[in-house]
Amino acid sequence: MQLDSLQFVWPWVFICLPLPWLVYRLLPAASEQQEAALKVPYIEDFEIASEQLGRTRKTLPAILFALAWLALLIAAARPQYIGEAIELPVSGRDLMMAIDLSGSMKTRDFIINGKVINRLEATKLVASDFIQRRVGDRIGLILFGEQAYLQSPLTFDRVTVNTFLLEAALGLAGRKTAIGDAIGLTLKRLRADDNTADDSTAKQQVLILLTDGENTAGELTPIKAAELAKRQGLKIYTIGIGSNRRMQAFGMSLSQNYSEIDEASLKKVAEITGGQYFRARNTKELAKIYQILDQLEPAERDTQSYRPTHALFYWPLAVAITLAGLLSLSRRVR
């Protein structure tokens, strides 16, 4: 352990080091008058032996007390070991994901491992992997249907965002689709975050909006929301999810609540903000879209470094407790 890697959080605690000595010098000594239990004719020899034993009995407790007090002060000063610098990749990017939870997302037109699943389940499978790869990005999650809700604000905690995504349920935000309101809520949250952030660090703001229908609810139209997003510098990538045909088995349709995607509006939203529109007809196409997004929005090469800190106070504290126990034991023996 290098000495320059060791530091004390509260070094001023050491000004208390002479406190016991000051108490000893300033306070009056306790009276120790005690009558001899036995009188001996040749008392001089016993007095010499008694003085030597007394000095030994007084010196050892004093040493134990001094060492215990020093160890206690070291623990109170909070010693820490500062490790070697570790570099972390930072992209400086704010990435929001808006996921459609309207009733049409229960349409079962995706097949994984021979099993037919609905659109939301397919989205969760692919988007979860995408979130886990966003090292260095701040991720936020918006769920929308008839209304838009902020499920997770921008955060570096990818585990929590992924958990919120996997817990999303169909119909949670209503059965209709408010694409414009989802964009509007994104702008509101990013604007609020910018007001509290350091203006010296410019961030790249991106919204990935995934839906399987057209705007059928909300107060804000997708085109108007896109124009507002352009002014704020938000780039939107839109994804239309869903097959062009209904899944059928034994002559029966498996695609309930089937809806047509308003590709024209989604393309226009992406075009206005400088993003792109993608169409995902199956899980392979959806996964490929997220891979393309990794390339379109590459992580920057800037790095930040930090030095891990390890608390060491428990070592001197354990020494102080041990010495205090020995001191107490020595007094009992005496």
Residue appearing with tokens 């060491």:
312
- Tokens linked to 239: 């994804």
Q: Kindly report which listed range (35-39, 192-196, 294-298, 323-327) carries the lowest average pLDDT score.
A: 35-39
Residues 6+ apart with CB under 8 A from 243: 109, 110, 255, 281, 282
| Mean pLDDT value across the chain | 78
How many of the other CB atoms lie within 10 Å of CB of 82? 14
For residues 96 and 180, give the distance between their C-alpha atoms in angstroms, rounded to a whole number.
Answer: 15
Per DSSP, the chain holds a count of helices (H) and strands (E) of: 9, 15
What ranges do the domains of the chain cover? 1-15+47-84+308-334, 88-305
Q: Is 54 exposed, middle or buried (0-12, 13-18, 19+ CB in 10 A)?
A: exposed
**CATH classification (class only), 88-305:** alpha beta
Element (H, E) at 134: none
pLDDT band with cut points at 50, 70 and 90 for residue 89 = low
Give residue-wise pLDDT tens across range 256-299. Answer: 444 567 888 899 999 999 998 988 887 788 888 888 877 766 55
Give residue-wise pLDDT tens across range 159-193. Answer: 999 999 998 888 777 778 889 999 999 999 888 77
For residues 116 and 127, give the distance between their C-alpha atoms in angstroms, rounded to a whole number.
Answer: 18
